[in-house]
Chain A
Amino acid sequence: MQLKSFQIRELQEAVALERSETAYKVLFVQLYQSAISFTTTITKNEEVAEELYADAMMKLWFMESKLTDIKDLKLYIFILLKNSALNYLKKERKQRFVSIDDIDRGDVPQTRSVEESLVFNELENMLAQVIDKLPSKCQIVYKLIKHEGFSYKHTAEILGLSVNTIEGHMSNALKKIGTFLKSLNLKD
């Protein structure tokens, strides 16, 4: 289940104005997978991603009524996560400056364990593996658009890249996935 933007808005208001823990829990749980997957692609470390997500959500809770000032909460959370993930990389690599262009360095994350892979059916599983092997930036752009339903503009805003670059990465990701699928010799 993907939350629709009007649903997010409703939950956001329930948290801000009624301090509803139930609404807060729904937001936390429903955005969890997307947020962790996104942040892990940058940090290459799932545990760190979990911590950063918890910190971001904690921040939202303590914004209290100011939370309603945020126009697009999901976009806001992803921007927050991108910034804290890059900050983490900066500390980790002891660099003064780290941008989204630097994230392809370092280890390839093991995002899917063997047991988890068994849950997917075979094609789904292979597709997931191809996506995992895409260059990090391609992968992030692909997931933000395909899985999260962000527009070019919002994806560009989250990553601090231009709209043209986003389209380039997305077409590139699709092409790589397409080439792989074709190699399987698909039949109906």
Chain B
Amino acid sequence: MKKGTFEVKVGLAEMLKGGVIMDVTNVDQAKIAEDAGASSVMALERIPADIRAHGGISRMSNPEMILKIREAVSIPVMAKCRIGHFAEAQILQEIGVDFIDESEVLTPADEENHIWKQDFNVPFVCGCRNLGEALRRIGEGAAMIRTKGEPGTGDIVEAVRHMRGVTAEIRRLSTLDKSELMATAKILGAPFAIVEWVAQNGKLPVPNFAAGGIATPADASLMMQLGAEAVFVGSGIFKSDDPKPRAEAMVKAITHYQDFAVLAEVSRGLKDAMVGISASTLDENEKMAKRGW
């Protein structure tokens, strides 16, 4: 019997496909998310929209709060640690979090290095803006990749840019000659063996999810049709005027992301989505997606 192998880590990511992972800040929200059909919850003290509004240093959530949420729900519980902060990750692993998000939403602890995730028994998800970033994270041991998007804005434009960027680069890799792959690996700044695998298989070696700015059922469907295998919804649910029906609508929109009748049906009758901020109006130093390399 073996635990914590890469196969076991990716296995949980496989089980989360076709689902919605919802950000929650307390037990009540976690229960609403689970009752609505969320496949997992992300436990954090402040959702990205509030982190943006309040400023200051954003750290790993209090383990007490994460454990309370874990007791309240039966679905997998994720939690975030700061980029490069392996001690926060060690604590999250110790308390039995099911998935760790090494996240640009929190203030980075290391501006050069990400966590060496292969040393952990629990799986990690990491954000990316492009294929090179995705493959570096996989090289470090990430078992799931998600777009960074621009968290806490309710603006889908960056998530679309990142997903299109990754899928276009994968398509291009699959057209390359073997002798061109080393030079491409150099340009991508990614491990050669993983570049070669992606070129041969035409996809990432781990599940590829979308995050950062998803606020409506239509946003969720858009990301799935662009190639995402599941979605994270951060501020989009509990910053809207109707969290419970919106959470349920999101779950239905993911299962039936290509059924436009269903999408029309679940979009009707929802109150206002989160107000949001246009990502293009943010100063460069306000963009969370720029955190990490």
User: A and B: real partners?
Assistant: no
B residues with CB within 8 A of A = none
